[in-house]
Amino acid sequence: MNKRNDMIAGADLAFDAEGFRGIGVDGILAPSGASTRTLYKHFGSRDGLVLAVLEERHRAFMARLEAGGETADPIGALFDALEQWLVERGARGCMLLRARSEYAGANADVVALVRRQKHEFEAEIAARVKQVLGRADADLTVQVWLLFEGATAAASVADLSVVGAAKRAAANLLAAAGSRER
């Protein structure tokens, strides 16, 4: 890896463990061994590094979804990907939403980035709902999105079984939406 990528990976670990605003620059840079000067060279500011970490986190999850390929259960595959992600990275809630919360009044760029990323993810769910039903269903898309986000949050205080429960709830919603069409 190059130094920029090392810094993003190290900061991801630090932010995930300590939060965004409660950790000093030294703590953010310690995992990568980078200097403050290198931080400014690559990212312009601490907040620039935050944005890069959020971009990489979102890109990595969306790539995981894409790598799942075509499946007989595209909505269930969302929850399967989430469960695998939480097993590998830990269940501490959504890093994007935590960043949005911490930066709500402090950095409009972070808030806007998270909003864009969440809209992109919601569009992915909408495409999968349409694939399953053969038609768009905005309400069902939001319901599946809420189940996904809720499972992500709940796994941080319960256990990963909540992801399976959310997956089953989504399947029930899809079945009900499909039967309404008949």
Q: Dump the DSSP string for 60-89.
A: HHHHHHHHT-S-S-HHHHHHHHHHHHHHHH
pLDDT at 180 over 80: no
> Over the stretch 36-88, which tens digit does the pLDDT of each residue have?
999 999 999 999 999 999 999 999 999 999 987 788 899 999 999 999 999 99
> Over the stretch 87-145, which tens digit does the pLDDT of each residue have?
999 999 999 999 999 999 999 999 999 999 999 999 999 999 999 999 999 999 999 99
For residue 178, the model assigns a pLDDT of 83
- Could you give the C-alpha distances from 111 to 96, 98, 142, in angstroms and in order? 9, 10, 20
